């Protein structure tokens, strides 16, 4: 519609043109927009959940010979699921940030209950 010479919609003219790969604003919401604020709020919320998960691992786990606290996935799942149903997603985020370590790509309740999660 922006290129349509017959369009009289002024709202379209005020919007920026689409960005292209390589542009620093590519794939990002407009600065100062509600979408940007929602993204920041979500990022903050997930960060708090990761911190809470690490605290639960520290409180329910056992200190190993290497000095790191470890807990099995089954034990962590039973403890953390009463707080949040997103335990696996939060674990993946914590691993991405180098806060925990566990073997495998994904953890499944029941099947991976004996997998050891180590707090780094």
Asked if 31 and 58 count as a contact pair (C-beta separation under 8 A), the reply is no
**Residue 1 tokens, joined:** 């519609």
| pTM for this predicted structure | 0.70
Domain of 103? 62-119
82 CB-near residues (< 8 Å, 6+ apart): none
Is the pLDDT at 11 greater than 70, yes or no? no
Number of domains in the chain: 1
Packed helices 87-96 and 73-80: angle between N→C axes, nearest 10 degrees: 120
Q: Which residues pair with 43 in a beta bridge?
A: none
Q: Which of 107, 104, 47 is nearest to 74 (CA)?
A: 107
Is the pLDDT at 64 greater than 80, yes or no? yes
Q: Is 41 helix (H, G, I), strand (E, B) or coil?
A: helix
Specify the pLDDT at position 5: 62
Average pLDDT over the chain reads: 85
Asked if 96 and 117 count as a contact pair (C-beta separation under 8 A), the reply is no
CATH of the domain at 87: 1.10.10.1540
Q: Is residue 40 a part of any domain in this protein? A: no
Is the pLDDT at 9 greater than 90, yes or no? no
Specify the pLDDT at position 73: 93
106-111: Cβ within 8 A, 24+ apart = 107/73, 109/74, 109/77
- What whole-number percentage of the chain has pLDDT above 70? 85
Q: Is residue 5 a part of any domain in this protein? A: no
| Arithmetic mean of pLDDT, 82-105 | 89
Q: Is residue 88 a part of any domain in this protein? A: yes
Q: Is residue 110 a part of any domain in this protein? A: yes
Q: pLDDT tier at 16 (50, 70, 90 boundaries)?
A: low
What's the pLDDT tens digit per position in 31-62? 888 988 999 999 999 999 999 999 999 999 99
């Amino acid at each position: 519609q922006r290129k349509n010479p017959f369009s009289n919609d002024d709202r379209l003219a005020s919007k920026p043109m689409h960005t292209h790969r390589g542009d620093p604003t590519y794939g990002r919401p407009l600065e100062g927009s509600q979408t940007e604020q929602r993204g920041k709020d979500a990022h903050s919320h997930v960060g708090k959940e990761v911190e809470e998960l690490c605290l639960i691992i520290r409180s329910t786990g056992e200190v190993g010979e290497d000095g790191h606290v470890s807990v099995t996935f089954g034990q962590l799942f039973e403890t953390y699921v009463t707080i949040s149903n997103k335990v696996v997603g939060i674990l993946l985020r914590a691993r991405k940030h180098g806060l925990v370590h566990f073997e495998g790509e994904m953890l499944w309740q029941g099947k991976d209950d004996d997998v050891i999660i180590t707090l780094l």
